[in-house]
Structure 1
Amino acid sequence: MPARVFTSLQPLACNLSSSLAALQITTSVGAVSRLSTEWLAGSLFSLRYPQRLSRRYLEGPFQITSAAFLHTSSSLNAGRKRKPPSNPWAVAKAAEKREKVIARKEELRQLRQDAASDPVVGHTTPFLEAMDSKPDMLPPIDHLVPATDAHERQEAFEKAVVEERLGRLNHFLQPDEVKTSLARSRALEEPPLSSVTEKSVRQGKEMHFKATAAMNRILSLSNGSSKDKTRANKAWCVETFGRHITDDKFPQPKHPSMSANPETDPTKTPRVGRDTGSSEVQAALLTMKIRTLAKQLETNTHDKMNKRNLRLMVHRRQKLLKYLKRKERGGQRYQYVMESLGLDDAAIMKEVFI
């Protein structure tokens, strides 16, 4: 150690040794050990539980030490009391403003909660309503119109057949195809002009309307089984979200290199047939199964296996829609799918608990 440092530390060591000697002279050995033990215990207790510090640790020969552990602020503010506000009007205004802020926060939270869609079944949309709706049963042909005069009966029968709402048809048929087939059959069954009479014309019209009413009841989805309804819903999903339909509505943006050299770049192979494998179609099909299974679990709450299947399908749909969002960069196609299925980004990007 250098001589200069040793010379500077020598007075401090002398003072420390003299203090310890004075403490040993004025205090017995037992009192010193008790003082050091209690001082150490009180200090540790005050550091861990400052609010539970007993009074005996604040009294006696170590009162200053305990107080030093309690006060963490400046010693000037230790005994100073905080003054009450002198302006009652400002206090009232601050309380009123605080109440308004709390009420507004609660209102916004309620609005967000109401606007959020269910991550499993989603909120109601026209597409989901059409998929869940069941066509009404059509009345029998014999009870379609009352038995009145032949001319009045024909007019009433024609009006009843024309005003029938069929909706979606069974057996993969479209309403336009049925109308075209019925018009062609009527043209084929018309009698030749040489044998046309007023009675034959009236009978021909009546038979045609009866045949139309019979075909409407045969092809109506209301007379089909649950398997027919499921098959019709699958076809409805494909025709709504299939890219063979939506490519005209949402064209795929071209790469800048393709727009710069349209002659040299290879052309995309045209689509053949209906699109059944895209992400949006698969998500729509899963939505159909999810809604059916969720409705079944409302009555059978102890069906553990189907509850697990529901959870798996919901998470699989999440993956498909996340991929679609990343692929389309949140574009129009993705927004169209989400709005049609009644879902939002929170139901797709966050964790779902079922």
Structure 2
Amino acid sequence: MPPRISVQSSLKALTGMPVKISDVKCAITWVLTKTYLGSASGYSPLSNSINTSIRAASSKVQARRKHDPFLMAQARQRKAANVSRQQVLAEERESSLGDPVRSQPTPFILEMTAIQTNSHIPSSLTEDLNYYLKSNELDAALDFSKDLTAPLKNPDRNTADPQVEKEAMNLHKQEHKNAQEAINRIVNLNNGNTKDRVRLNITKCIETFGRHYTDSILPPKPSAVVHESAPVHPERAPRVGPDTGSAEVQAAILTVKIMNLSRHLENANKDKHNKRNLQLLVHKRAKLLQYVRKKERGGPRWQNLMGTLGLSDAAWKGEIAL
């Protein structure tokens, strides 16, 4: 065992006066507290000396590197290698996800592009008409107007002049031909504006992705496991009229608007207002796509939507930055 030394007697021998034990304990506690606080806060004399020596050494190394051309060249090479590697990784990520704005050239997208671009619309286009008209409805209306305006024949055939009736019939045919040509020019998309083409594309989206059409051609989504205690819901009433509010139709309509804005921004780089509108549309479509994917569980309806619109995973996955 180490020898026991009386603190009171040793302090009395040094100072020449009696010292209380409580005063010694307070002094030792104060010294230990200051030492602990100084080491915890980093302001102890030892830590200050170490930090000062480290800073001095680092400043010397930096100064030596600034004046050493070999070390500077090595630093530039490492920086260039890191930058090039970051570019390669960014390109790989973008190629794996795809473009969040542009769609792949599927038949549906090519048809939408042909309608939106005036130069790509053929002059003999009769199926796609303006003002919500269809070719069969227009033909029926023209035939009815032709019969309605046809010249009446003289009921008294004895006094009728065949030459006059023939001339009137030829004049009626010529007038009907002129009227038909005028109507065809009015309803032709070549004479319409961008708003008319977008309206026609929206109509095609409703006809292609509406539940009133896809319910008959697409199988239902995979059914979930239903517990015995789950409530039994009644069957839904049959759909009446075209579907214009489902998430698939809204995503397709947003895709048409995104295509129109992106084509406009190719030649208008400083149009900040429409660029912000494009960002809003892209993010809104991403939310709708995430909702459809969650509800359909990646089923046939989700695959048909993504495949027909030509969208990649970048349209709904991860952070979208334009």
Class of the TM-score when normalised by the shorter of the 2 chains:
0.5 to 0.7
**Higher mean displacement: 200-209 or 330-339:** 200-209
- The partner residue of 2:130 within 150, 156, 170 is 170
Where 2:304 maps in the other structure, the secondary structure is helix
Question: What is the match of residue 101 of structure 2?
Answer: 120
Find the aligned partners of 1:266 and 1:338 in 2 and give their Cα distance.
31
Question: What is the match of residue 208 of structure 1?
Answer: 176
Find the aligned partners of 1:253 and 1:221 in 2 and give their Cα distance.
38
Where 2:295 maps in the other structure, the secondary structure is helix
Find the aligned partners of 1:190 and 1:280 in 2 and give their Cα distance.
48
* Conservation of the 8 A alpha-carbon contact between 1:121 and 1:291: yes
Question: What is the match of residue 316 of structure 1?
Answer: 284
Over 3 Å counting, the alpha-carbon distance change for 1:288 and 1:210 in structure 2 is: same
5+ residue gaps in structure 2? 2-87, 227-231
* Conservation of the 8 A alpha-carbon contact between 1:137 and 1:223: no
Name the % identity. 42
Q: Equivalent residues in 2 for 1:63-78 (5 A)?
A: none
Over 3 Å counting, the alpha-carbon distance change for 1:218 and 1:307 in structure 2 is: closer
Q: Equivalent residues in 2 for 1:150-161 (5 A)?
A: none
5+ residue gaps in structure 1? 2-105, 139-163, 259-263
Measured after TM superposition, the shift of residue 123 of structure 1 is 1.7
Is residue 241 of structure 1 aligned with residue 222 of structure 2? no
RMSD: 3.7
Measured after TM superposition, the shift of residue 116 of structure 1 is 6.7
Using CA pairs below 8 Å that are at least 6 residues apart, which structure has the higher relative contact order? 2
Find the aligned partners of 1:239 and 1:245 in 2 and give their Cα distance.
7
**Higher mean displacement: 193-202 or 116-125:** 193-202
> Could you list the per-position Cα deviations for residues 122-172 of structure 1 after superposition, in whole angstroms to 9, with x for gaps in the alignment?
12222222223237586xxxxxxxxxxxxxxxxxxxxxxxxx323421111
* Conservation of the 8 A alpha-carbon contact between 1:117 and 1:123: no
Question: What is the match of residue 301 of structure 1?
Answer: 269
Find the aligned partners of 1:234 and 1:246 in 2 and give their Cα distance.
16
* Conservation of the 8 A alpha-carbon contact between 1:127 and 1:340: yes
**Higher mean displacement: 280-289 or 115-124:** 115-124
TM-score, normalised by the number of residues in structure 2: 0.57
Question: What is the match of residue 102 of structure 1?
Answer: none
Is residue 189 of structure 1 aligned with residue 149 of structure 2? yes
Measured after TM superposition, the shift of residue 340 of structure 1 is 2.0
Q: Equivalent residues in 2 for 1:1-354 (5 A)?
A: 113=95, 117-133=98-114, 134=118, 136=121, 164-192=124-152, 198-252=166-220, 266-354=234-322
Number of residue pairs aligned between Structure 1 and Structure 2: 219
The one-letter amino acid paired with 2:267 is: T
* Conservation of the 8 A alpha-carbon contact between 2:220 and 2:300: no
Measured after TM superposition, the shift of residue 345 of structure 1 is 3.0
Measured after TM superposition, the shift of residue 120 of structure 1 is 0.5
